[in-house]
A and B are shown apart, each in its own frame.
Chain A
Amino acid sequence: AQKVTQAQTEISVVEKEDVTLDCVYETRDTTYYLFWYKQPPSGELVFLIRRNSFDEQNEISGRYSWNFQKSTSSFNFTITASQVVDSAVYFCALSEGGNAGNMLTFGGGTRLMVKP
Chain B
Amino acid sequence: KAGVTQTPRYLIKTRGQQVTLSCSPISGHRSVSWYQQTPGQGLQFLFEYFSETQRNKGNFPGRFSGRQFSNSRSEMNVSTLELGDSALYLCASSAGRYNEQFFGPGTRLTVL
Q: A103-B58, A105-B45, A108-B42 are in contact. Are A47 and B102 (CB under 8 A)?
A: yes
B91-105 CB contact bits vs A (8 Å, 1 = yes)?
A: 010100111111111
Q: Which of B28-72 contact A (CB under 8 A)?
A: 31, 33, 35, 42-45, 48, 50, 55-56, 58
- For window 68-99 of chain A, which residues contact chain B by CB distance below 8 Å? 91, 93, 95, 97, 99
Which residue of B42, B56, B88, B99 contacts A103 across the interface (Cβ within 8 Å)? B56
Does the CB pair A104–B45 fall under 8 Å? yes
Flag if B104 contacts A101 (CB, 8 Å). no
* Interface check A45, CB cutoff 8 A: yes
Cross-chain contact A102 with B104 (CB below 8 angstroms)? no
- The reply to whether A103 and B98 form a contact with Cβ atoms under 8 Å apart is no
Contact (Cβ within 8 A) B55 A43: no
Shortest Cβ distance from A52 into B: residue: B98
A83 to B104, CA, bound (A): 25
Q: How far is the CA of A42 from the CA of B31 in the complex (A)?
A: 24
Known A45-B103, A104-B33, A104-B35; judge A99-B43 contact (CB<8 A): no
A107 shortest CB reach to chain B, Å: 8
Q: Does A64 contact B (CB under 8 A)?
A: no
Please name the residue on chain A nearest to B43 by beta carbon.
A106
Tell me the bound Cα distance from A33 to B96 in angstroms. 13
Whether A104 pairs with B101 at a CB distance below 8 angstroms is yes
* A50-B105 in contact (CB<8A): no
A33 to chain B: closest residue by CB = B98
Residues of A contacting B50 with CB < 8 Å? Answer: 101
B42-A43 in contact (CB<8A): no
Query: Which residues of the partner chain B approach A102 to less than 8 Å between Cβ atoms?
Result: 31, 33, 48, 55-56, 92, 94, 97-99, 101
Q: Contact residues of A with B, CB < 8 Å?
A: 33, 35, 37, 42-47, 50, 52, 91, 93, 95, 97, 99-109
9 extra interface residue pairs, beta carbon distance < 8 Å, beyond A42-B105, A103-B33: A44-B103, A50-B100, A91-B43, A101-B97, A102-B56, A104-B45, A106-B42, A106-B43, A107-B42
